[in-house]
Structure 1
Amino acid sequence: MQTIVGWHVDIEFTEEDGKTRAACMVRLPDGTEMRAHGNAKRHPNDMEQQRVGEEIAAARCLNELSRNLMKKAGGEIEEVTHVPAHLAM
């Protein structure tokens, strides 16, 4: 099997007062940049674990990015087929 293309997703985090925000971006081969965001909030009774907040915020960010990619792909399918695309997640 040969890899013909690779994508890189960049994720940046900001943290303040027990809240973590992730911003992710992917640049597609057609030049499109897609961005998404995800948040996590630490419960006041939980001990501070920066990594856990980042993981949750990143997962939510990537989930949004995934949905956006599915919408883009569905739109491209519909442009060619002129039939509504039904893509399952």
Structure 2
Amino acid sequence: MKTLVGWHVEIEFQEIGNRTQAAALLRLADGTELRAHGHAVRHPKDAEQLRVGEELAAARTLNDLARQLLEKSARDIESATHVPAHPHM
């Protein structure tokens, strides 16, 4: 029997001048909530393209989220095995 598991990540953006900020929330099945942040800054000479700023800020936010998931998985492994864990990408 297969069990379907899904996670949902919510990402919100805020534009302030030439800066795009992103905040993400991930809720895991065990009740853990991980929050991550990222940003992008547009060079003053570049054309205003909100989508590009959002993509960069989101990528940096998701990178932060991935780092947090690796840290959580290491703690979970260590809790089960009592041996230091060093997962990496």
What is the distance in 2 between the residues matched to 1:44 and 1:22?
20
1:39 aligns with 2:3: no
TM-score (norm 1): 0.95
Which residue identity does 1:73 align to in structure 2?
Answer: S
Deviation at 1:86, TM superposition (A): 1.3
Would you say how many aligned residue pairs link Structure 1 and Structure 2?
89
Consecutive aligned runs of 4 or more in structure 1 exceeding 6 Å deviation: none
Aligned position for 1:51 = 51
5+ long unaligned stretches in structure 1: none
Equivalence map 1:52-67=2 (5 Å): 52-67=52-67
Deviation at 1:3, TM superposition (A): 5.5
Q: Deviations over 1:58-86 (max 9, x none)?
A: 00000000000000000000011111101
Question: Among the aligned pairs, what percent are the same residue?
Answer: 61
Aligned residue for 1:67, secondary structure, equals helix
5+ long unaligned stretches in structure 2: none
TM-score (norm 2): 0.95
Q: Deviations over 1:22-81 (max 9, x none)?
A: 000000001111000000000001000000000000000000000000000000000111
Which residue identity does 2:43 align to in structure 1?
Answer: H
